[in-house]
């Protein structure tokens, strides 16, 4: 009596591939091995996306708000559905001064910040705001990106991942006193902010006034303050200083504010490496987009001021600009000394970058600037 053959599979209906001829079965198996896309896709579709909170102090009326939202959209797009951004504008997660702490403490995953609000924390990065540092937001942004490539600011921003700069345009002087030469700054009561501004006032014999920004309009109107420092756009569009001042002195007494977009380090590490690689090229692109936006807005606001009844723009001659730049040598020198070797290296790197861009270096420090 012959022994029964042992079944390889239990009796009953068999899976379809068991009924395939051997050659077709091998083809089917190869397809599963080399083309697992649908299987992987269906598995990924079931995963919950990483949700990141983006915090900004910029109001929705400002064009930069729209650009920030577009940046969030591009991050999501590059994330291929695996990352979602929740946008919180107008300081809804915290005031402008609190944005950096919001990012470091993880209350938001990404935040817009300004170094001037916590200047003692970023002494090297505040060098971007030195007088005559950059003539436009585009130049300032380009310089920051080049300095970052050389490793500057890495230690100061060790708590976060620095994504890209939001360099603004240089500050102008909205004034009720006519200023046509360096000597006219003496005794000028001028509103400003951080330590660089105070050093500038000291160098010019001006009197620094530190009050809250919303109070400046009334102070200018009552003449308890003679002047205020701001780029064209916030000075006119946000704070309406053109209504309570007679002149705008169009000289870069302070360069643009060093603002930026930073990310909570642990949140960055949660983002898959392949998405990080897709994100990185977006950072310099949006740094340039914001710079172009700020420069364009300033041109529009300057033109608007030209048509404003009763207002007058004062520009300095080349000779007077050189005299003003010479007055700023002690300000730059103090910043270099306070930052030690990092300050010296950054000044030399700045000079090299400016020459590479074919821009003039106005403040030439003795002993550091080549040939001085």
Is residue 97 within 8 Å of 117, Cβ to Cβ?
yes
Residue-by-residue pLDDT tens, the chain, 372 positions: 444 444 433 444 444 434 445 444 444 444 443 444 433 333 355 689 999 999 999 999 999 999 999 999 999 999 999 999 999 999 999 999 999 999 999 999 999 999 988 768 999 999 999 999 999 999 999 999 999 999 999 999 999 999 999 999 999 999 999 999 999 999 999 998 777 999 999 999 999 999 999 999 999 999 999 999 999 999 999 999 999 999 999 999 999 999 999 999 999 999 999 999 999 999 999 999 999 999 999 999 999 999 888 889 999 999 999 999 999 999 999 999 999 999 999 999 999 999 999 999 999 999 999 987
Q: What DSSP character marks residue 17?
A: G
CA distance 365 to 249: 25
Residue 164 and residue 239 share a domain: no
* Residue 13 located in a structural domain: no
Residue 164 and residue 191 share a domain: no
* Residue 281 located in a structural domain: yes
* Residue 2 located in a structural domain: no
Three-class SS state of 88: strand
In DSSP terms, which residues pair with 249 in a beta bridge? 173, 314
Residue 191 and residue 229 share a domain: yes
- The residue among 127, 54, 109 whose CA lies nearest residue 87 is 54
* Residue 152 located in a structural domain: yes
The domain in which residue 252 lies consists of 171-256+314-337
Residue 128 and residue 205 share a domain: no
pTM attached to this predicted model: 0.86
Residue 179 and residue 165 share a domain: no
CA distance 301 to 305: 6
Place of tokens 């003539």: 135
CA distance 108 to 367: 44
CA distance 267 to 338: 33
Residue 101 and residue 235 share a domain: no
Q: What is the CA radius of gyration of the chain?
A: 29
* Residue 372 located in a structural domain: no
Count of domains forming the chain: 2
Query: What integer pLDDT is reported at residue 14 of this predicted model?
Result: 44
């Amino acid at each position: 009596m012959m022994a029964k053959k042992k079944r390889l599979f239990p009796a009953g209906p068999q899976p379809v591939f068991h009924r395939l001829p051997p050659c077709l079965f091998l083809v089917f198996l190869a397809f599963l091995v080399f083309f697992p896309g649908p299987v992987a896709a269906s598995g990924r579709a079931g995963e919950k996306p990483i949700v990141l909170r983006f915090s900004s102090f910029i109001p929705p009326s400002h064009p930069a708000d729209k650009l920030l939202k577009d940046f969030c959209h591009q991050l999501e797009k590059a994330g291929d559905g695996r990352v979602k951004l929740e946008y919180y504008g107008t300081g809804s997660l915290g005031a402008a001064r609190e944005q950096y702490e919001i990012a470091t403490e993880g209350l938001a995953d990404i935040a817009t910040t300004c170094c001037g609000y916590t200047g003692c924390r970023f002494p090297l990065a505040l060098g971007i705001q030195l007088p005559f540092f950059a003539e436009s937001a585009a130049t300032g942004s380009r310089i920051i990106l080049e300095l970052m490539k050389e490793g500057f600011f890495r230690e100061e921003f060790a708590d976060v991942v620095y994504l890209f700069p939001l360099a603004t345009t240089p500050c102008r002087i909205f004034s009720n006193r006519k200023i046509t030469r360096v000597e006219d700054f003496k005794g000028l009561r001028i509103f400003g902010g951080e330590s660089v501004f105070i050093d500038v006032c000291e160098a010019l014999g001006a009197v620094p006034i530190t009050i809250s920004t919303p109070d400046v309009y009334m102070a200018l109107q009552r003449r308890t303050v003679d002047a205020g420092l701001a780029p064209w756009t916030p000075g006119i569009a946000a704070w309406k200083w053109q209504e309570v001042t007679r002149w705008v002195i169009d000289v870069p007494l302070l360069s643009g504010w060093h603002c930026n977009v930073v990310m909570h380090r642990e949140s960055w590490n949660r983002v898959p490496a392949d998405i990080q690689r897709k994100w990185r090229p977006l950072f310099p692109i949006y740094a340039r987009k914001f710079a172009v936006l700020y420069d364009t807005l300033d041109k529009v606001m300057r033109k608007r001021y030209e048509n404003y009844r009763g207002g007058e723009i004062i520009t300095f001659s080349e000779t007077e600009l050189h005299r003003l730049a010479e007055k700023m040598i002690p300000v730059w020198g103090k910043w270099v000394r306070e930052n030690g070797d990092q300050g010296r290296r950054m000044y030399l790197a700045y000079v090299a970058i400016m020459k590479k861009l074919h821009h003039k270096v106005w403040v030439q420090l003795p002993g550091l600037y080549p040939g001085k």
